[in-house]
Structure 1
Amino acid sequence: MRLNKKLTLLIPPLAWFAWYFLPDSPPFWAIAKHWPISLTMAFGSFVAGATSEAGGAVAFPVFTKILAIPAMQAKLFSLATQSVGMGSALLTILLLRIRVEWRAVFWVVVGSVPMLWLGFQIAEQLPASAVRMVFTVIQSSFALALWWHNRDPDRDRHDSLPAFGGPEKLTLLGFGMLGGLISGLLGSGLEIIVFSVLVLWFRLCEKAATPTVIVMMVLTSWSAFAMIYWSDRFVPPVTEYWLAAIPIVVMGAPLGVYVCSRMSRVAVVYTLLGLIGLELLSSLILIPLTPQLGLAAIALFLGFSCVYYSMYRSKRYLDRPPALS
């Protein structure tokens, strides 16, 4: 294990070496030209590694609300950057032998990947303000669900999936499809949807759910990046933003994974709640709300909240021993 910890230190230098020889190299000009991007992802990549939030959960609101970058470009950047940053986080998880629920990973990814393209197509038909508000609503309903889940410190929590039969596979597949659709729409979202299912429905401990969700995000982001590249969507200025972020995220995400492995469950939870609270506040201040958009946001929030609350109230997996299959 000690050797593996040392090997994790090689991840950033090896990534930097590969980054240097990318097309249009050396790309140091990208960092100088787009330093706000690099600065944003220094924080975003750490958050992605330490919590169940993807780096896009930080990048998307900062890009669209503060840096005035179009929502479509912010989404493409988020998916492309997550494929690199979370890839380094995945290597860290494997080297440190952090436990992952691989059974859940398989069924979620099988559901999410085919839905990404549909999310891309829907996003092109929606106004930017609607896309940004959907992002905020999903984040806020998740925060409410997480608060419900942690009101009771004695609530039963499992270290692994309490059962794994046909119903569990279908549940993971279905929510993986929903998460893939939202990720294609916003650039992130799979992690929030699946994390909610794992901790609320299956009563999986947050520290066990976080690395599992990270692996799901990596595999989905790789698929999304391939779709973006082969559909000729990966063009400037998104490529320039991506070059500016790579050397930062390959260091921030592994650091976040390591810190998360040392954090308490409660610390992980309150970190998430604080970040989502800031995102909600910024949306209320910066996004112009029309009556139609406001009503749609309220309806969507209530819909997600009702689903989360029903999962929270369920006793299906209460005090059940982990499945061996």
Structure 2
Amino acid sequence: MKGQSSASPLRQLWPFCLWLVLFYAVWLTVVLLTDGWDTLRAHWPIAVSMALGSYIAGSTPMGGGTVGFPVLVLFFDMPGSLGRNFGLAVQSVGMVSASIYILSARRPLDWGLLKPALAGALVGTPLGAALIAPFVPDLWVKLTFAVVWCSFGIMHLVKLKELVAAEGVSDRWRCYDTQLGLTVGFTGGIVASITGVGIDMMVYATLVLLYRADLKVAIPTSVLLMAFTSVVGIFSNLLLSRFHPGLYHMDPEVYANWLAAAPIVALGAPFGALVVNLISRTPTLLLVSLLCIVQFVWTIMHERVTGVALLAALGSVLAMNALFHVLYRCGRGESSLDHPGLAAGLPPVELVGDERGE
């Protein structure tokens, strides 16, 4: 009986193992058929960078593009559009890999908010890719990215102890799941179409600040939403580039960097999703929060942002943190401990496997 229970977690991971076998078989075939070894040798720095990026993607509410974007844009002086497309492309492997692991391992997810958010992202992401992203100046792409994650970093530094200590999920806002999920998915999809990331942070902030959700629920939920949005986003951009390559340009360097980074993130992101359940989240989130603020300062200095643009960036950081504070105040004082009757018929989290003590 004991052997049977210890084997069960391994058996339930077979979809994840199958995914890895199929992915690496396809990747290796592509490398061999296209003589991609030269490409891999030329782009090894991004592969090394994404070792950290993929771990962050699986263990925090931040996509791997959060590392890939500043590395390509700030280190290698690539345009923001290339950083965005690379982020979406590499997350379509790394975040998808982490999502398959999360689903196979039966991690708890907030399906009540996630389902409408997926629907909103399915609409908002391609719309943003077609109607907004191509017309945003490169500097503003970089600043949008910097503002979003700087705001996230400040919010975490201020609320980290309380966020890490949260347990359960409040049911106070459960009746607004559909409206909130659609709003987060649609607006987050537009943000992701511009920067390659962002929707994961938005659903995460909604869960931890408004719903007072446990990080064990909020982080996996954000990973799945970012994975889905990344797939929708990169395929939208690929299709658009076929119809109008002048307006919707897809730089060949996106593919070259993706080919080098993909085999790293396929394992790195699920490794992060595994480790985050074994160690304290505080050190990882603290480090990531500080890096988010540093990259904002770095972007401002690197791009020599002054005048109106600087005021707009600083004002946007303040505005986003004001919004976070409103969400926090709305959710304050409500927790699953205050509402033992999550049994109102609307269980916010589907607990399976180990989370039920099995």
- Relative to the length of structure 2, the TM-score reads 0.83
Out of 133-142 and 2-11, give the one that drifted further: 2-11
1:219 paired residue among 221, 228, 233: 228
Question: Which residue identity does 2:259 align to in structure 1?
Answer: L
Determine the C-alpha separation between the residues in 1 that align with 2:268 and 2:309.
Answer: 35
> Superposed, which structure 2 residues align to 1:285-296 within 5 Å?
285-296=301-312
Root-mean-square deviation over aligned CA pairs: 2.3
Look up the match of 2:137: 127
Aligned to 1:320: 339
User: For residues 235 and 153 of structure 1, do their structure 2 counterparts lie closer, same or farther at Cα, with a shift above 3 Å needed?
Assistant: closer
How far apart are 1:168 and its partner, in Å?
2.7
Q: Write the deviation string for residues 77-98 of structure 1: whole angstroms up to 9, x where unpaired.
A: 1111111111111111122221
| Whole-angstrom CA distance in 1 between matches of 2:321 and 2:163 | 21
Equivalent in the alignment of 1:245: 261
After superposition, give the CA deviation of every residue in 1:160-208 in whole Å (9 maximum; x if it has no partner): 4525644232112112222111101101010111111110111111222
User: Which residue pairs with 1:193 in the alignment?
Assistant: 202
Residue 137 of structure 1 is aligned with which of 147, 156, 167? 147
1:141, distance to aligned residue in structure 2 (A): 1.4
Instruction: Tell me by how many angstroms 1:247 deviates.
Output: 1.1
Match of 2:185 among 176, 187, 201: 176
Distance 2:137 2:109 in 1: 38
2:279 corresponds in structure 1 to 263
Q: Which moved more, 1:215-224 or 1:258-267?
A: 258-267
Q: How far apart are 1:27 and its partner, in Å?
A: 2.5
Please give the alpha-carbon distance, in whole angstroms, between the structure 2 residues aligned to 1:18 and 1:304: 41
- How far residue 265 of structure 1 moved from its aligned partner, in angstroms, is 3.7
Matches of 2:88 and 2:164 in 1, distance apart?
Answer: 37
2:212 matches 1:203: yes
CA contact (8 A) 1:107 1:172 kept: yes
Aligned equivalents of 1:239, 1:152: Cα separation in 2: 41
Q: Does structure 1 retain, via aligned residues, the 8 Å contact 2:154–2:293?
A: no
Distance (Å, rounded) in 2 between the aligned partners of 1:246 and 1:50: 18
Question: Which amino acid in the other structure matches residue 227 of structure 2?
Answer: V
TM-score (norm 1): 0.91
The question of whether the paired residues in 1 share the 8 Å contact of 2:108 and 2:216 is answered with no
Please state if 1:18 is matched with 2:26. yes
> What 5-or-longer segments of structure 2 have no aligned partner?
1-7, 243-248, 347-358
Query: In the alignment, which of 305, 317, 322 is matched to residue 301 of structure 1?
Result: 317
* Greater Rg over alpha carbons, structure: 2
Q: CA deviation at 1:32?
A: 0.7
Q: Are 2:13 and 2:104, in contact at CA under 8 Å, matched by a contact in 1?
A: no
Secondary structure class of the residue paired with 2:223: helix
Cα deviation, residue 36, structure 1: 1.6
- The answer as to 2:299 corresponding to 1:280 is no
- Would the aligned equivalents of 2:65 and 2:91 in 1 still touch at CA under 8 Å? yes
> What do residues 78-124 of structure 1 show as CA deviations (whole Å, max 9, x unaligned)?
11111111111111112222111222211111112211134323232
* Residues 220 and 166 (structure 1), Cα distance of their counterparts in 2 relative to 1, 3 Å cut: same
**Which amino acid counterpart does residue 92 of structure 2 have in structure 1?**
S
Q: Is the 8 A contact 2:49 2:67 kept in 1?
A: yes
Q: Is the 8 A contact 1:145 1:312 kept in 2?
A: no
CA distance in 2, matches of 1:299, 1:202: 26
Offset at residue 151 of structure 1 (A) = 4.8
State how far apart, in whole Å, the 2-side matches of 1:226 and 1:46 are: 24
CA gap 1:4/1:160 in 2 versus in 1, 3 angstroms: farther
TM-aligned CA distance change 1:265 to 1:219, over 3 Å: same
Output the CA distance in 2 between the equivalents of 1:131 and 1:20.
33
User: Match of 2:334, as an amino acid?
Assistant: Y
Match of 1:3? Answer: 10
Closer, same or farther in 2 for the Cα pair 1:320/1:142, shift >3 Å?
Answer: farther
Give the letter for the 2:10 counterpart.
L
Residues 170 and 316 from structure 1, CA distance in 2 versus in 1: closer, same or farther, beyond 3 angstroms? Answer: farther
Whole-angstrom distance in 2 between the partners of 1:18 and 1:170: 39
How far apart, CA to CA, are the structure 1 residues paired with 2:164 and 2:183? 29
- Residue 266 (structure 1) shift: 2.5
Q: How far off is 1:11 after superposition? A: 4.8
Quote the Cα distance in structure 1 between the aligned partners of 2:197 and 2:219: 15
